[in-house]
Amino acid sequence: MQLDRRSFIGLAGAFGLGAAVGVPSTLAATSGFAAMAGGSSVPFYGKYQAGITTPMQDRLYFAAFNVETEDTAQLKRVLKEWTLAAERMSRGTDAGPIGAASGMPEAPPDDTGEALDLPAARVTMTIGFGPSIFDSRFGFASRKPAGFEKLPTFARDELESEQQNADLMIQVCADDDQVAFHAIRNLIRIAKGTISPVWLQSGFSGAAKASASRHTPRNLFGFKDGTANLNVDDFTETQMHLWVDRGWMTNGTYMAVRNFRFDIETWDRSSLVEQEQVFGRTKGAGAPLSGGSEFSQPDFKAKNARGELAIAEDSHMALAHPSKHGGAKILRRAFNYSNGTDRVARIDAGLLFISYQKDLEKQFVPIQRALANNDQMNEYVTVIGSSTYACPPGLAPGEFWGHQLFA
Site for a copy of itself in 105-144 (CB under 8 A): 105-109, 111-119, 121
Among residues 44, 45, 223, 300, the one that binds a copy of itself under rule CB under 8 A: 223
Cα separation, 115 vs 120, in Å, equals 9
The whole-angstrom separation of Cα 294 and Cα 224 is: 9
SS3 assignment, position 87: helix
Could you say which of 297, 341, 373, 396 contacts a copy of itself (CB under 8 A)?
341
Total binding residues toward a copy of itself, as defined by CB under 8 A:
78
CA dihedral 184, 187, 193, 196 (to 10 degrees): -40
Among 8, 44, 134, 243, binds a copy of itself (CB under 8 A): 8
Choice from 21, 104, 146, 305 touching a copy of itself (CB under 8 A): 104
Candidate list 6, 76, 144, 215; residue touching a copy of itself; CB under 8 A: 215
In 3-state terms the chain splits into helix, strand, coil percentages (rounded to 5) of 30, 20, 50
Tell me the angle at which helices 72-90 and 177-190 cross, rounded to the nearest 10 degrees.
160
The C-alpha angle with vertex 6 and arms to 39 and 122, in degrees rounded to 5, equals 25
Q: In whole angstroms, give the CA distance from residue 101 to residue 117.
A: 12
For a copy of itself, which residue of 22, 307, 340, 398 counts as binding (CB under 8 A)?
340
Name the minimum Å distance from CB 284 to a copy of itself.
Answer: 3
- Residue 347: enclosing H or E segment and its boundaries? strand 347-357
Report in angstroms the alpha-carbon separations of 295 from 36, 116, 213, 226, 229.
Answer: 25, 42, 16, 11, 11
Near a copy of itself by CB under 8 A: residue from 103, 292, 322, 366: 103
- Residue 209 as a binder of a copy of itself (CB under 8 A): the answer is yes
Which range, of 200-208, 228-236, 304-312, 316-324, touches a copy of itself by CB under 8 A? 200-208
Can residue 157 be called a binding residue for a copy of itself (CB under 8 A)? Answer: no
Contact between 192 and a copy of itself per CB under 8 A:
yes
DSSP-derived secondary structure letter, 324: G
For a copy of itself, the closer of residues 185 and 358 by Cβ is 185
Please give the helix or strand (H or E) that residue 66 lies within, else none. Answer: strand 59-67
- Between 21 and 344, CB nearer to a copy of itself: 344
CA atoms in the 13 A half-sphere facing the CB of 83: 19
Binding a copy of itself (rule: CB under 8 A), the pick from 28, 50, 100, 311 is 100
Terminal CA-to-CA distance of the chain, rounded, Å?
39
Q: Among residue numbers 251 through 280, which ones bind a copy of itself (CB under 8 A)?
A: 264-265, 268-273, 275-276
Query: Minimum distance from CB of 10 to a copy of itself (Å)?
Result: 13
Smallest distance from a copy of itself to CB 179, Å = 7
State yes or no: residue 220 binds a copy of itself (CB under 8 A): yes
CB of 227 to a copy of itself, least distance (A): 12
- We find the least distance from the C-beta atom of residue 331 to a copy of itself, in angstroms, to be 21
Give the separation between CA 137 and CA 141, rounded to whole angstroms. Answer: 9
Residue/partner pairs of 14-17 with CB below 8 Å, 24 or more apart: 15/43, 16/41, 16/43, 16/44, 16/45, 16/90, 16/91
> What totals of helices (H) and strands (E) does the chain contain, helices first?
12, 9
Stretch that binds a copy of itself, among 140-148, 250-258, 326-334, 342-350 (CB under 8 A): 342-350
Q: Quick one: which of 126, 194, 282, 355 contacts a copy of itself (CB under 8 A)? A: 282
160 binds a copy of itself (CB under 8 A): no
Q: Contact at 8 Å (CB) between 268 and 260?
A: no
- From the list 284, 293, 303, 313, which residue makes contact with a copy of itself (rule: CB under 8 A)? 284
Binds a copy of itself (CB under 8 A): choice among 6, 283, 362, 403? 283
Q: Per CB under 8 A, which region of 14-22, 77-85, 96-104, 316-324 contacts a copy of itself? A: 96-104
